[in-house]
Amino acid sequence: MSALAGRTAIVTGASRGIGRGIADRLARDGALVAVHYGSDEEAARETVATVEKNGGRAFAFRADLAAPDAVDAFYAALDAGLAELGEGPGFDILVNNAGASGSGRIHQLTPETFDRLFTINVKAPLFLVQRGLDRLRDGGRIVNISSATTKHAFPDSVTYAMTKGAVDTMTLALAKELGPRGITVNAVAPGFIATDMNARRRATPEAHAALAALSVFNRLGTPADVADVVAFLVSDDARWITGQYVDVTGGTAL
């Protein structure tokens, strides 16, 4: 049987990039994947189509994580999507992948940008977990997508780095809190991945080469590089791993 057969996984921000890669990999491992998106319905449908092409099961649902009613809207849309498939509201895996970036350096920061990044990157995943605890089955898995910026100085986006530091702290606290239920909570920290989020930083061949050179493998990461690690952490093989920060940077800045 597939490693995740019979399990339901939620991946936030799964319409593109790392989220799409995670959704596809978990579906190929047998999970029913709930593909969350914030605004780009067409891209989310492309994720579902990719999953189905590879023999998996998925459905898309929308919730704006920056909205005041984000958590209510999220679970209402999730429940509707599950009900259409004849599934109940319970789930086994939550991957908090959705995120916003682009704060800039300290002198460029605005209160509006600060509030937006902390709302999407910190408040949303924390309250999604809180509201989902009565739905998340014992023995479940939570994976929070962190960033290499919490271990390496990254003044180009100081607030983004701060939000991911909060995610790391949240991961530790939740791992301790949920351990008695057999639920593991871990953070996965990518480096530079070839996605839309950092397209500006690799806009020229020279810039691309400079980013690739940060890894000991002299290349940018791919969504699959991250998705494969997430797939391990949500599997039974990772049952004895919790509260950890897993570096998925290709040896950046060693």
Give pLDDT tens digits for 41-58: 999 999 999 999 999 999
Q: Which two tokens stand for residue 29?
A: 């491992």
- pLDDT value, residue 195: 81
Instruction: Measure the CA–CA gap between 15 and 39, rounded to whole angstroms.
Output: 9
Contact by Cβ (8 Å): 33, 23: yes
Is 78 contained in some domain?
Answer: yes
Catalytic residue among 37, 75, 160, 245: 160
N-term to C-term CA, the chain: 39
Instruction: Measure the CA–CA gap between 13 and 231, rounded to whole angstroms.
Output: 16
Q: pLDDT band for position 197 (50/70/90)?
A: low
Instruction: Measure the CA–CA gap between 159 and 103, rounded to whole angstroms.
Output: 6
Q: Which two tokens stand for residue 161?
A: 């780095």
Give which of 31, 32, 49 is closest to 41, Cα–Cα: 49
pLDDT digit string, tens, across residues 123-149: 999 999 999 999 999 999 999 999 999
Is 253 contained in some domain?
Answer: no
Is 254 contained in some domain?
Answer: no
160 is catalytic: yes
Least reliable range by pLDDT among 7-11, 86-90, 103-107, 175-179: 103-107
Please say if the pLDDT value at position 202 is more than 90.
no
Is 130 contained in some domain?
Answer: yes
- pLDDT value, residue 203: 63
Instruction: Measure the CA–CA gap between 233 and 162, rounded to whole angstroms.
Output: 24
Region 191-218: what's the mean pLDDT?
Answer: 83
Is 70 contained in some domain?
Answer: yes
Is 65 contained in some domain?
Answer: yes
Which CATH number is 216's domain given? Answer: 3.40.50.720
Total domains present in the chain: 1
Distances (CA, A) of 12 to 17, 33, 201: 12, 10, 24
Q: Which two tokens stand for residue 178?
A: 């949920």
Cβ count near 94 (within 10 Å): 26
Please tell me the pTM assigned to this model. 0.95
Region 164-178: what's the mean pLDDT?
Answer: 98
Instruction: Measure the CA–CA gap between 176 and 3, rounded to whole angstroms.
Output: 25
Is 187 contained in some domain?
Answer: yes
Is 2 contained in some domain?
Answer: no
> Domain of 24?
8-248
